[in-house]
Amino acid sequence: MRNLRNIALAGATAVALTFGGTSVAVAADGDMATKQNQSSTQDSNKGSSKEGASWQHKFGRALGIDPKDEKTYKVKGQDMWGVKKAEDLPDSAKTLYGLTIALGVFAGLTALAAPIYNFFKFGPFAN
């Protein structure tokens, strides 16, 4: 980024994307939003079949999550990430826990490597 205008545009875009997603998450709070989400989820799942399922449902089925099985379907975040972790977590929850840790490490390494790469490519030593 050679000029201030491009830097400002990139920063404004990053801020807009970040806070655009959080405003949606903050807007849905309380029991009213939970009841509305449950009813809309029930309505949208009435006509779905295995062929028309979203990628999230297909991914869940590939991990072995069955909506009819309470043990695999009703795992909460507190069971996985709480102070006292549940010891009888299903394999699908353990897999998602491991993926979360791996992706977090990858994101941290990327956040460190990208500025270093940018320095050597565009910095004072660039040709």
pTM: 0.48
Least confident interval from 45-59, 68-82, 94-108: 45-59
Least confident interval from 4-8, 45-49, 66-70: 45-49
pLDDT digits (tens, 9 = 90+) for 103-115: 999 999 999 998 8
Single-letter amino acid, residue 51: E
**Stretch 64-76: mean pLDDT:** 76
Residue 21 tokens, joined: 């997603």
Domain extents in the chain: 1-47, 50-127
Confidence at residue 47, expressed as pLDDT on a 0 to 100 scale: 47
Average pLDDT, the chain: 75
Residue 73: count of CB within 10 angstroms of its CB: 13
Determine contact, residues 90/72, Cβ cutoff 8 Å: yes
Residue 74 tokens, joined: 């009703």
Distance separating alpha carbons of residues 57 and 104, to the nearest angstrom: 23
